[in-house]
Amino acid sequence: MIKPKEPSTSSGTSQKSKDAEPSGAQDGAATGASSLSEHKAEVDTLSNEQIKRESSPPGTSETILWSFTSDPESSIARSDSELQMKSKEALRIAEKVPNRGLPNLKQILLMTPDHYSTARTRLLVFDYDGTLAALVPNPSQALAPQEILTALAELATVPENAVWIVSGRERKFLEELFPVSSNIGLFAEHGAYHRLPHQSAWIGDRAPTDYPWWTAMLSRMQTFTATIPGSRVEVKDLTLVWHYRASQPEGSIVAPAYRFLLEAVAAQSGWIDCKISEGSCIIEARPSAINKGFAVQFIVARMERTHGELPEFLLCVGDDVTDEGK
């Protein structure tokens, strides 16, 4: 099924090329999914008999993918009501995702593990927080389990696979978890910056000074922090986040009003390029032209240029609305 910081210095470089920054001029096509660790746990509990349904014993990579590609009409799904329910929920979401020339998402979700096995090119996209790592009050302590990192690295060694992390996190955080040697592509801050597989340089040169709203939004968020004890502002290289996970129930009570306030400030100031979004115990401000849907479209277009065709298998896993390209 497709499911659900601290200040830092820039670690990126400006490098315009054929792999230039993804344009924000197209509609997004990414989608959300339930957490990888959650599904991995489900798969781990499947019986040996179910595992043996694979024509060959699945390795870690295939096992993870299998959990997302089980046909809800199959006997596997019927034997696991929770998985069946999640698959149906994924299909409901998939039906809402516009098909912009990409493979139809609903068909992808209905694929059997054989489709993964036989696809000549595969794109596997993973969100980070809430998907690869459990949500915790302090963002710097949200580390993906080594088991997950190892599984992703293993997936990325398969020649047919392109593995990307498309995250709201900043560059510095992601590159510490996913070294160049991991062969995993990275998108940071919802698509503002990206690092191609095998390369150490980041592409993308957006900076706070490009956006007239940036200082005002930071100032507003700081007043929220002063008002709600325990909340904090995360100042990333470009995007700003007000966190209130550690300030309950006050944070959740005021969050809708605070989001509305930030949106009103942006609207009244004519800052149409400022997007305010709510995540899991966060309110985030970012440029409107940046979202994960554009990031995935960029990756797909790049694969099409390289292989002469669209990826035959596409999997996007996330836990939040931004993972739906919003």
Q: Are 202 and 12 in contact (CB under 8 A)?
A: yes
Q: Are 261 and 220 in contact (CB under 8 A)?
A: yes
Strands 274-279 and 282-287: antiparallel
Query: CA–CA separation, 317 vs 165, rounded Å?
Result: 10
One-letter amino acid identity for 163?
Answer: V
**Candidates 27-35, 42-50, 101-109, 137-145 — which segment interacts with ligand L263DTV3 by CB under 6 A?**
137-145
137 binds ligand L263DTV3 (CB under 6 A): yes
Q: Which of 66, 68, 116, 128 binds ligand L263DTV3 (CB under 6 A)?
A: 128
Q: CB of residue 263 vs ligand L263DTV3: minimum separation in angstroms? A: 17
Give the H or E element holding residue 44: helix 36-44
Which residue number, 38 or 127, has a Cβ lying nearer to ligand L263DTV3? 127
**x/- track of binding to ligand L263DTV3 for residues 219-238 (CB under 6 A):** ---------------x----
Which residue number, 38 or 320, has a Cβ lying nearer to ligand L263DTV3? 320
135 binds ligand L263DTV3 (CB under 6 A): yes
Residue 313: CB atoms within 10 Å:
21
Q: Are 295 and 194 in contact (CB under 8 A)?
A: yes
**Candidates 20-28, 81-89, 207-215, 278-286 — which segment interacts with ligand L263DTV3 by CB under 6 A?**
278-286
Tokens standing for residue 256:
């809708």
| Nearest residue relative to ligand L263DTV3 (C-beta) | 168
Query: CA–CA separation, 53 vs 57, rounded Å?
Result: 9
Q: Are 258 and 224 in contact (CB under 8 A)?
A: yes
Q: Are 177 and 185 in contact (CB under 8 A)?
A: no
38 binds ligand L263DTV3 (CB under 6 A): no
Q: Are 250 and 155 in contact (CB under 8 A)?
A: no
311 binds ligand L263DTV3 (CB under 6 A): no
241 binds ligand L263DTV3 (CB under 6 A): yes
171 binds ligand L263DTV3 (CB under 6 A): no
Q: Which of 168, 251, 287, 311 binds ligand L263DTV3 (CB under 6 A)?
A: 168
Q: Would you tell me which residues interact with ligand L263DTV3 (CB under 6 A)?
A: 5, 127-130, 135-137, 139, 142, 167-169, 234, 241, 243, 245, 279-282, 284, 320, 322
